[in-house]
Structure formats: C-alpha cells, structure tokens
C-alpha cells in the first residue's frame, strides 16, 4: 500500500488493516458515444475508448498491484486487459459480476428522449424518489449500492494490507467513494461526475475509509477538446488559452 504524508491532526492509516483500491471506470463504449443507456448490456469499446485504454495503460506501466479485478462486461474487461498487460508481472484479470453497472432493464439501448416518451411512470418515480426508483425490469440505485458494497467488502477482506486495481462502471465508482467518505450513498450519488478511464483511489478498512484521489484523467488531456458540456457557466463563456 502506498504511503503519503498524514495531514496535521490526523492519525496515519494502519496499512495492514486497509486495502487500497484503484477504481477505474471503463473506457468509452460505442453506446457511451451514442448517448444510449447501457446498464448490463455487453457493448464494446469505441475507437476513442480503445485509445483511452491505451493511454491509461501507458500511465500505469510498470506499477505493482497485488490483484486486478474487472466487471465481466466487455467494456470493463477489455479496458482491464489493456492495462494488466503493462503492469509489473502482467497479473491475470479476475472477473466479478458484483462489479457490473446498474441493471437498467428495458431502458437498455434507448436514449433519454425515448425513455421520457415510453416510460413516463418511471420518469415520474425517478424524479420523486431517485434513490429507490427501480428501472423497468432492472435495479434501483439502492440495489446497485447494496450489491457493490458487498463486493468491495469481500475484496477488502481478501486483500487486507494490499493494493488492487478494479475496472468497473460509473455507478460502482460512486459507491466506492461513498464507502470511503461515509454517510449515505444517496447523499453523494448525483453530485459525482465520473469520466471514462478516470482513476479514483480509496483506502477501505473494516471501520471506514479514506478518499485519496477522485476522477483523475490526466492521461486523457490531449485526446479531446473541451466543448460546451465542459462549461458549467454557459455556452457564451469562452475558454482562456
């Protein structure tokens, strides 16, 4: 487990009791690029996604991890495979279905406009209770949080005092952050933006955790140009070069 200076007034982490997770969201998929809901549909990486995975692999080349885990969905597994080949010892990628994205059920393959038209009752329930609203024939955010939390606890107990790499999905990254900072998952869920191939680092123990890094995408800085989605103050604001 890596070490860092402890902030004044805080006790240092007990390395033997913590597991350090490097939690990575998969690279861009073809449906990410098209704006389609994926959930647990097995969608492959886009060309941009393959480039993102290569950039991530280059950044992590030669690093030591005690284990590498991945969701069993192709967009996560293919990202993990690209990275694991460059790590020290080229560790085997172990798949765990508990790391899957939320099951969106009948929403899979649809864009937001179609969902609003075809599933008005679901949209209404989502607006009134986003945490417990279940996707038609799928999961709720609460379901995902419970499943992912169990998986992280199993991995933490299996790898106490070690550093492991986990390649997964945006919803599961949010769960990892919630476990690290404490409180109820629903209080942070909608406030976290998780980019493709971003690195989030958390240290988890039986009694809690620490958020060490969130949504780090330094390896992608020259892949895409900023657009209006990056400007929270409006399209009229210009980027300063």
pLDDT tens string 140-179: 999 999 999 999 999 999 999 999 999 999 999 999 999 9
CATH no. for 16-104+139-218? 3.40.50.1240
- Residues 160, 219: Cα–Cα separation, whole Å: 29
User: Pick the residue with more confidence: 13 or 76?
Assistant: 76
> Which range among 1-10, 85-94, 154-163, 227-236 shows the weakest confidence by mean pLDDT?
227-236
The helix/strand/coil state of 124 is helix
| H/E run at residue 215 | strand 208-216
* Matching residue, tokens 């609203």: 133
Q: How confident is the model at residue 46 (pLDDT cuts 50, 70, 90)?
A: very high
- Residues 203, 130: Cα–Cα separation, whole Å: 28
- The pLDDT of residue 5 is 58
- Give me the half-sphere count of Cα atoms (radius 13 Å) on the Cβ side of residue 144: 32
Q: Annotated active-site positions, please?
A: 26, 101
Q: How confident is the model at residue 221 (pLDDT cuts 50, 70, 90)?
A: confident
| H/E run at residue 21 | strand 19-25
The answer to whether 22 touches 164, Cβ cutoff 8 Å, is yes
Q: Tell me the pLDDT of the chain averaged across its residues.
A: 89
The answer to whether 140 touches 173, Cβ cutoff 8 Å, is no
39: left (phi over 0), alpha (psi -120 to 50) or beta: left
- Residues 236, 203: Cα–Cα separation, whole Å: 41
């Amino acid at each position: 487990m890596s070490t860092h200076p402890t902030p004044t007034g805080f006790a240092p982490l007990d390395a033997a009791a913590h597991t350090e997770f490097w939690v990575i969201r998969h690279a861009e998929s073809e449906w990410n690029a098209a704006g389609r809901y994926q959930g647990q549909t097995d969608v492959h990486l886009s060309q941009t996604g393959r480039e993102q995975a290569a950039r991530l692999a280059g950044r992590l080349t030669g690093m030591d991890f005690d284990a590498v885990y991945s969701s069993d969905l192709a967009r996560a597994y293919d990202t993990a495979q690209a990275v694991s080949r460059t790590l020290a010892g080229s560790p085997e990628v172990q798949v765990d279905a508990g790391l899957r994205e939320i099951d969106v059920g009948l929403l899979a393959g649809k864009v937001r406009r179609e969902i609003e038209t075809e599933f008005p009752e679901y949209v209404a329930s989502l607006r009134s209770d986003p945490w417990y609203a279940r996707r038609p024939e799928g999961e709720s955010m609460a379901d995902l949080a419970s499943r992912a939390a169990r998986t992280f606890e199993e991995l933490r107990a299996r790898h106490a005092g070690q550093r492991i790499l986990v390649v997964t999905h945006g919803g599961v990254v949010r769960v990892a952050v919630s476990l690290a900072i404490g409180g109820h998952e629903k209080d942070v869920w909608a406030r976290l933006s998780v980019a493709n191939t971003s690195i989030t680092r958390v240290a988890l123990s039986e009694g809690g955790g620490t958020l060490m890094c969130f949504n780090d995408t330094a390896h992608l800085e020259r892949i895409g140009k900023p657009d209006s989605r990056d400007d929270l103050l409006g399209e009229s604001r210009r980027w300063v070069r």
